[in-house]
Structure 1
Amino acid sequence: MIAAATSSRTDATDEERSTLDRIIEWRTKHISDNQFVLLLSFVVGILAAFAAYILHWLISQIQTLLVSGFSVTSSNWLFLVFPVIGIWLTTLFIKYVVKDNISHGITRVLYAISTNRSRLKPHNCWSSVIASAITIGFGGSVGAEAPIVLTGSAIGSRLGQIFNLDNKTLMLLVGCGATAAIAGIFKAPIAGLVFTLEVLMLDMTMASLLPIMISSVTAACFSYLFTGASPMFNFHMADVWELDRIPAVILLGIFCGFLSLYFMRVMTWCESGYGKLARHPYAKLAVGGVALSSLIFFFPSLYGEGYNALRVFIEGTTTADWDTVMNGSMFAGNDNLLLLYVGMVMLTKVFATSSTNGAGGCGGTFAPSLFIGGFGGFFFARFWNMYHLGVYIPERNFTLYGMAAVMAAVMHAPLTGIFLIAELTGGYSLFIPLIIVAISAYLTISIFEQHSIYAIRLAREGKLITHHTDRSVLTLMNLDDLIDKDYTAVQPDMEMGDLVHAISRSRTSYIPVLDDAGHLLGEIDITKIRHVIFRTELYHRFRVSQLMTKPAAVLHESDDANSVMKRFDATGAQMLPVLDADDCLKGYITRTHVYGTYRQIVADMSEE
């Protein structure tokens, strides 16, 4: 019966493969590659918008079930319990169902583009949606955007892999998925487009820009269909932009630049601390869970993504409206403590976010950056007006400016910050102050940090693709593809006569000398022993250990293409050995192969 079942499954698999092959064959005959990519970009837009809707619906349902009946005038002790339960459930889901690391969604997309040729795993199409819904629904202080970007990118990657598309097209479909995710979750098609350009750092041509735009507008339209046409925030322009507010906007940009620097540095420090507990999952859950739940207990605004708290500042017009942000905390009813509460929430959000992810939750830093920026903008404007530091500045407008500024600085994406806030609120008349504040914040943080919060991890490892063509080409080169693993090895105690026979079988001018464990001891350079290999009377006199020399340099499989190129330039060698993690010989890389591959990738990138 088992054999029959196995045979049945194999037949079904073969039948499915045969059907797919027929579809691919029909597509190849009737639909051009460019047309097919446009069609796939449309499908990616639909699926990404649907995934975004499902994720937000799940979060909303869980939060409604858990906290809808909480008191708004006093603290709620269940805030000490729910976040820990949510992170624990997420950890179990990832460990026993997903069985893979799905944290840092946008960073994983960047990593896939930079090193894996845009091949994301199939489970990324759904695993992040479920994991982040549990984490955020139970109170995890992270964002849903990074998981959705990973989901959308994985959908694009998976469709490309199913139809056996090349790496360049796969990268384009990953960009379509990321664009559609942002456009769908925020109903912001322009922000989705510039997000891909700025954050994912894909070099776009006119041929690749069209699919990106199709995915973006498709996702936005379907989000309108799912949730209605109204923007995320009900913002009405009550205070018209005036030139005398420029100094305040510039100062806010500088303030948000330093606030963003604080966010990135503290986030990195906390990640490092939780990383040391990686081998002790329950200790990590205990430390992170207690830190998160305690912060949420004192500051309920930290519960979940935080968009409801931002809505208080953006849609509210009076102090009474703004005071509602303190509901459910020990600060409730004390309007004189509003500024203190906002400042403390602004500074502790980064600890809540890092504790959520550090304890084992799943979520991103997209929403936290908007949250910190919004609270920072309100704090700045409220402080400015309370102490009469200049002309009156509207608090809700500056809440939006702060959101754009921190996003521009943390992500190193000023255009994304500008267009996202404009599309989130319909406040297109705020373009001038949004541009000023985004530039000010970006220039401030760029003095201290060269990379975005998503790219900084990869940049430190030399795995980040950029707009710099030469660096991008080196990043796209896969070292494993360059290694020639077909070599003839000899041992150090072998006589020269046996060495000559080995040379006759070798295809290269270098013969590696290995010990019994496969470790590289040296190499035989045929060009250096030509004066003796034809003297048969010496065949029993010399051994390999007497003829071998040290290689000019040694490469490791963990090296990137940039370091390999530098090693060849520094040594002038034509061939270098590559060692694996155990220092055993893996193969050889030749200079001609490296430079030939480099030229081919440059040619591919130059094609429209």
Structure 2
Amino acid sequence: MKSEASILRDFTVDRRVWLLSGVSIGIGICATLLAVVLLRCISLSTNLFYYHRFSIAPVSSAGSSLGYWMVLIPVLGGLLVGLMARFGSDKIRGHGIPEAIEAILLHRAKVDPKIALLKPLSAAIAIGSGGPFGAEGPIIMTGGAVGSLIGQWMHVTDAERTTLLVAGAAAGMSATFATPVAAILLAVELLLFEWRPRSLVPVALASATAGLLRVYWLGAGPLFNMPAFDAPPRGSLVLGALVLGAILALVASAMSRMMYAFEDLFERLPIHWMWWPAIGGVGIGVGGLFFPRGLGVGYDNIADLLRGNAPLGLIGGILLAKSLMWAFSLGSGTSGGVLAPLLMIGGAVGALAGHLIHAPVESQALWALIGMGSMLAGSLGVPLTAILFCLEVTHCLPALLPLTVACIASYLVTSLIMPRSILTEKLSRRGYHLTREYGVDPLELVLVRDVVSAPAQGVSTHQLPDFYAYADETTRSAAETMASEGLETLTVVDRETRLICGELSLRDLLRGRGRSYERESERLKLSRSLSPEHGGHN
């Protein structure tokens, strides 16, 4: 019996993609609802903690009149998060995205049902009590948990369950930031670990669904407005963006190292980790006294940076107080995301660059946007996501060229100086390693007929074996058949004549894999042919 994998097609996709696509649309609806609920819960939590009123109206904790009592509020919030993690699930601790990656790679895309409830609740408490975190990480994890739970309820494979988990995660990000395309790219660059129609289409539909519903439930984009910038990019601007991108790569590396240094510090404390978020809350509270605008998500800070009129006091406060508050508290193991704080810090570096070169208001806003994208590309290792994300949250199309240059520069430098991103470092510390490089399987580039051994002289058979490989199919397809059926050799058949033309062994597959290694390792200088038509001699 011959599997469908042997059919010569560009893509390995079957009709189950229709089922997954339909389910993903439903997941997109659920994830958007959860995003709305989480954002409302953050507002409710902020009102309760800082204004002692029951309201879901968006409000900043920086405007509270509690004075020095504000120091205790993040401590209380951290204590509640610690208790939820200790007696609920410790999976609610941390950024959210590393936990999603861990579930995909190590737990067959299965997420504990408690996560769908405890993660958004703990994030609402942590952020509402002043935690300088983003809501996107918890929303991504919560949306992913919903997708995983639906996948566990259905009769699907692990790969299909992964698709549903990632569909929920992408929908959560799309609903939060009004960035449906960037959410798809984040899924590809960070979560899916593949680029195939079977997963890309359902994820895209979930993200698009969330992007559509967000218009009705949270408002249309862009999330941040920028001054008009109609002039075409000049060479000096692009060159400056290149330099700024490289600088932000160093900042991204420093932020990652600082956060994990604080995490190591907490690991050495002689007390149970349940109490760590409360200690992290002390740092938030003290920092909030000196820089109240460092409390909470801080989307208003990002908005000021992208308007181009951010004062130096705000920029300095973000770079010093906000950075320390975020790194210290997140290192304590509380619940919160990294995206919004990193965008804010990168934007502050870009805005500072605009101030230093005495750029006009609209140019300062552009420099802030370039800094945001560079920080995201470098710290998370997602350059394409960073470019599209910045364009979608601002609709500033003239920034495309300098933004692309800066993000690629940041991505290059961090790839050279950082062994792991700020997200994958957490997985490494848990004893797991993963590669972030995607490429076509080397066996996909080698045909069976090129490596087949023991060639036969057109041996005919009236009854082929149950499992065989065609001479013109890829060795990857043949390897999948051998792996699934536990075979060490596979009969090779000519597709047209149906004659047996050889046998494929594991040694032959290794020979095919060796060709890819040669392409990667051998450095040969190509010269012009010495044939007579090129003036040479035989």
Match 1:185 to one of 176, 179, 193: 176
Match 2:257 to one of 257, 261, 265: 265
C-alpha distance in 2 between matches for 1:141 and 1:308: 13
Displacement after TM superposition at 1:471 (Å): 10
Summarize deviations over 1:368-396 as a string: whole Å, max 9, x none: 1111111111112112218xxxx997111
Give the conservation status (yes or no) of the 8 Å contact 1:385–1:392: no
Match 2:345 to one of 369, 372, 391: 372
1:442 counterpart residue number: 411
The answer to which of 439-448 and 37-46 deviates more is 439-448
1:19 counterpart residue number: none
Name the CA shift for 1:395/1:35 in 2 (closer, same or farther; >3 Å). same
Counterpart amino acid of 1:229?
Answer: A
Counterpart amino acid of 1:457?
Answer: K
1:345 counterpart residue number: 318
1:61 counterpart residue number: 44
2:105 counterpart residue number: 114
C-alpha distance in 2 between matches for 1:314 and 1:85: 33
- RMSD of Structure 2 on Structure 1 (CA): 3.0
Name the CA shift for 1:397/1:79 in 2 (closer, same or farther; >3 Å). farther
Match 2:82 to one of 76, 86, 91: 91
1:306 aligns with 2:275: no
1:175 aligns with 2:145: no
Give the conservation status (yes or no) of the 8 Å contact 2:92–2:122: no
Give the conservation status (yes or no) of the 8 Å contact 2:140–2:169: yes
Displacement after TM superposition at 1:170 (Å): 0.8
TM (norm. structure 1) is 0.65
Displacement after TM superposition at 1:69 (Å): 9.3
SS in 2 for 1:450: coil
C-alpha distance in 2 between matches for 1:450 and 1:378: 28
Give the conservation status (yes or no) of the 8 Å contact 2:78–2:279: no
Name the CA shift for 1:310/1:445 in 2 (closer, same or farther; >3 Å). same
Displacement after TM superposition at 1:362 (Å): 0.7
C-alpha distance in 2 between matches for 1:34 and 1:72: 50
Name the CA shift for 1:223/1:279 in 2 (closer, same or farther; >3 Å). same
C-alpha distance in 2 between matches for 1:449 and 1:465: 13
2:227 counterpart residue number: 236
C-alpha distance in 2 between matches for 1:467 and 1:153: 23
Give the conservation status (yes or no) of the 8 Å contact 1:80–1:293: yes
Give the conservation status (yes or no) of the 8 Å contact 1:77–1:297: yes
Counterpart amino acid of 2:342?
Answer: S
**1:171-570 equivalence runs, <5 A:** 171-238=162-229, 240-243=231-234, 244-277=236-269, 279-281=271-273, 284-285=276-277, 287-315=279-307, 317=309, 322-323=310-311, 338=312, 342-385=315-358, 394-459=363-428, 461-464=431-434, 466-468=436-438
Name the CA shift for 1:74/1:413 in 2 (closer, same or farther; >3 Å). same
Displacement after TM superposition at 1:288 (Å): 2.0
Give the conservation status (yes or no) of the 8 Å contact 2:103–2:110: yes
Displacement after TM superposition at 1:355 (Å): 2.7
Counterpart amino acid of 2:315?
Answer: V
TM (norm. structure 2) is 0.73
Displacement after TM superposition at 1:456 (Å): 2.2
Displacement after TM superposition at 1:141 (Å): 1.0
Displacement after TM superposition at 1:360 (Å): 4.8
Give the conservation status (yes or no) of the 8 Å contact 1:111–1:463: no
Percent identity, please.
27
Match 2:33 to one of 46, 50, 54: 50
Give the conservation status (yes or no) of the 8 Å contact 1:90–1:360: no
Summarize deviations over 1:401-428 as a string: whole Å, max 9, x none: 1110100000001111111111001112
Displacement after TM superposition at 1:73 (Å): 12
Name the CA shift for 1:445/1:466 in 2 (closer, same or farther; >3 Å). closer
C-alpha distance in 2 between matches for 1:138 and 1:74: 14
C-alpha distance in 2 between matches for 1:55 and 1:95: 22
Counterpart amino acid of 2:276?
Answer: K
C-alpha distance in 2 between matches for 1:100 and 1:249: 39
Counterpart amino acid of 2:206?
Answer: S
Displacement after TM superposition at 1:70 (Å): 7.7
Counterpart amino acid of 1:63?
Answer: T
C-alpha distance in 2 between matches for 1:39 and 1:282: 41
C-alpha distance in 2 between matches for 1:360 and 1:51: 23
SS in 2 for 1:291: helix
Displacement after TM superposition at 1:236 (Å): 3.5
Displacement after TM superposition at 1:310 (Å): 1.3
C-alpha distance in 2 between matches for 1:411 and 1:463: 16
Counterpart amino acid of 1:109?
Answer: A
C-alpha distance in 2 between matches for 1:151 and 1:120: 10
C-alpha distance in 2 between matches for 1:250 and 1:463: 31
Counterpart amino acid of 1:108?
Answer: E
Name the CA shift for 1:286/1:227 in 2 (closer, same or farther; >3 Å). closer
C-alpha distance in 2 between matches for 1:279 and 1:60: 32
Give the conservation status (yes or no) of the 8 Å contact 2:308–2:351: no
C-alpha distance in 2 between matches for 1:100 and 1:207: 29
Give the conservation status (yes or no) of the 8 Å contact 1:374–1:401: yes
Counterpart amino acid of 1:83?
Answer: P
Give the conservation status (yes or no) of the 8 Å contact 1:148–1:181: yes
C-alpha distance in 2 between matches for 1:108 and 1:125: 13
C-alpha distance in 2 between matches for 1:137 and 1:173: 30
Give the conservation status (yes or no) of the 8 Å contact 1:142–1:353: yes
Displacement after TM superposition at 1:399 (Å): 1.1
Displacement after TM superposition at 1:398 (Å): 1.1
Summarize deviations over 1:550-576 as a string: whole Å, max 9, x none: xxxxxxxxxxxxxxxxxxxxxxxxxxx
Name the CA shift for 1:292/1:69 in 2 (closer, same or farther; >3 Å). closer
C-alpha distance in 1 between matches for 2:60 and 2:224: 24
